[in-house]
Amino acid sequence: MKKKIANYTLSLVTLVSSLLFIGCAEKRKGTQLLLAASPWKFAEMPALSTLSPEKHKATFRTASDSSSFTIKLKVNLKAQKHARSVLNIPGILKIMTFQQNPADRKLQNYPAYPMPDGTVPVLEAALRLYSPAEPQGKDMLVGIPMAMLEKPEGAHEVVLHFSGVRWTLYVDNELLDNDFPLGYPKWEKQNTWEIDSSLVSKAEIFFPGIEPQKVVLKTPRTSAEIQYWTPAGHNSWVGDVATFYHQGRYHIFYLFDRRGHASKFGKGAHYFEHLSTTDFKTWTEHDAATPIEQQWETFGTGTPFLFDNKLCISYGLHTTRIYPKEQTSLPLQWDYYNKHGVTGSFRYDTIPGYPAGSTYSISEDGISKFKKTKVLFHPCENPSVYTDPEGRLRMLANYGAKGTWESKSIDGGWRSVNQEFPPGGDCTFFFRWGNYDYVIGGFTGFWSKPASAPEDKFVDGVKVGLDFYNGMNVPAVTEINDGRFLLAGWIPMAGWGGSLTIHEMIQSPEGRIGTKWMEEIVPATQKERSLATEIKESSTFVTGSSSFLLTFDVEPGTDLNGKMAALLLGANAEDQACEVQISPSAKKAQYGNGQIGNFSGAEKSLREGGSTSAARNYAIENLAGTDKPFKVRMIVKYEDKFGGSQIDTEIAGQRTMIAFRPNLKVEKLLLRSGKTGIKNVRIAALKN
């Protein structure tokens, strides 16, 4: 009976909310990203073998150079109910169409593009590769959900290209999926291949492969918004971020991630892509700063820095993900260090073993056009290189080493100046802001000290609940113009990847750091509408959009137990519901599992053992500015690609917290007050 009453109240308030007036606030303008993406073309060449409806099966002799190949197909795609073979080369390659389970996003995230009826038809190619680690062979998959095509069904040109370094799928001249091979196919002297002639009107195979050429566009393609951005595609994400500000330009280097770290058979195959801006409104996508050019390459996080007046970026060669340490250059590097007390400098194309450890690239124009030096300067695999305020070239060692190191030159000669701090782990960064020094880790670990204090005086801010972790993973900190500091990172959505998120940092006179939204990049919105002038009892509203900006004012009251909550509800009410709960007097806020009838239970902060880096349920503490009336702003961003909603909350303009909720598409909002006032509730749909 109580449930029926609750449902009736929910429906009644929802109906009333839909009658509230439309506000007259101006639309918020967004940002624009100029993309480097363009179509690709393949030169016309004689094929080694050709198939057609009249000749749907044939044999061919493999060419002497079989290290690369290209297959061109003219395919009539159809959303088949059952799996169909499009092309088959026994023991080498299978191209299939099939129906993907719409609830299964593992590996390829095919449900990012469903058909109007909710089905997910897929085109997929499986190439069997053999390597010393996989002597029995293993299939490497590339594929697409057909719904991502402008016209999913009908005639399409499909090209599959294996270069030895890349395994790539092109449809209608667009690069839509790729992976990075380990190993090669085992071609026979004579190979048989076959097509389904009801689907394929022509198939050609070329040895060696035809290297694709980029089509130069007079007008670049664009993407709306940089906040919460992901690279184009169904399975492409932003991984670890490294940032820098140089000559009026803010640079973002991010580890391009497909399949949530599952590329290259689970070895990651990450490499640094590159974005930059001079005004934070128009952004530019550059060519990759550290492209993968060898099968052994997979890169780890580093940092941009200046050395010898040149823009550089350091990064780690994570070769030990692929080969045992003994087969890499690491033993040679550690032997040199143990004998000399400093690291050596090795050209990795001139020494035995697979290259591993720290290296760097140099920009040829001070903006982009990076070139690999092929110099190994340290055995650690996540080097955080920087020039400190005193002008010393330093590095924080992560993954495979630890501590603080110093050198006169980037090219070797690194000596340990603090063996124990920071204690290694993932991706630590140093920065100085005014009179304070800070070191931040990738997921936890935050230390600060007065700049004038000795280096052994760093204090652990997490232990006292004074960190500023907010859901971002591997956050990078950079000072820009006018003394402003930015925090950039990624929000986990698909394993080791997700959306790019940037916030601005604030600092108190005592050195305490908080975060707020960066106004220049807040996403564009439609006009606001008012939901309520005051919330006196639990009230529910239809959001009208699954992606929106919500704002409201909070009157904190005097009760220490006072709190308020914004409950985000999907079509199935409490299923996957998310509650944003704020306790002003207790100076605490949290994300929790939502309940229609009650506040959610208490979550843990990082100090208490909670996990901010998971970006699901967690708490933050020691809020600032909540002892007097304050404003809360929330952005909810839903995309089919995400498979859920990113929720970004700003509290009193001094703290932010971010969560991702899989399977949540918000339709309704419930505001609940417990001895805490809520006023001036307004909502605006996001434009993009």
Q: Which tens digits make up the pLDDT trace of 411-446? A: 999 999 999 899 877 789 999 999 999 999 999 999
**pLDDT tens digits, residue range 269-291?**
999 999 999 999 999 999 999 99
In the prediction, which pLDDT does 560 show?
83
Q: What share of the chain in percent tops pLDDT 90?
A: 91
Element spanning 42, H or E: none
**pLDDT tens digits, residue range 20-74?**
333 334 566 789 999 999 999 999 999 999 999 999 999 999 888 889 999 999 9
Residue 358 CB partners (closer than 8 Å, separation 6+): 302, 314, 315, 316, 317, 376, 377, 378, 379, 380, 381, 383, 395
Q: Which two tokens stand for residue 314?
A: 């350091």
The 10 Å Cβ neighbour count of residue 229 is: 22
- The answer to whether residues 589 and 580 touch, using CB atoms and an 8 Å cutoff, is yes
In the prediction, which pLDDT does 26 show?
52
In the prediction, which pLDDT does 575 show?
84
**pLDDT tens digits, residue range 94-135?**
999 999 999 999 999 999 999 999 999 999 999 999 998 889
Helices (H) and strands (E) in the chain — how many of each?
3, 51
The label of the residue with tokens 């493999």 reads 62
In the prediction, which pLDDT does 27 show?
61
**Cα-atom radius of gyration of the chain, to the nearest Å?**
27
Give the chain's largest Cα–Cα span: 84
For the cut 80, the answer to whether the pLDDT of residue 12 exceeds it is no
Q: What is the pTM of this model?
A: 0.94
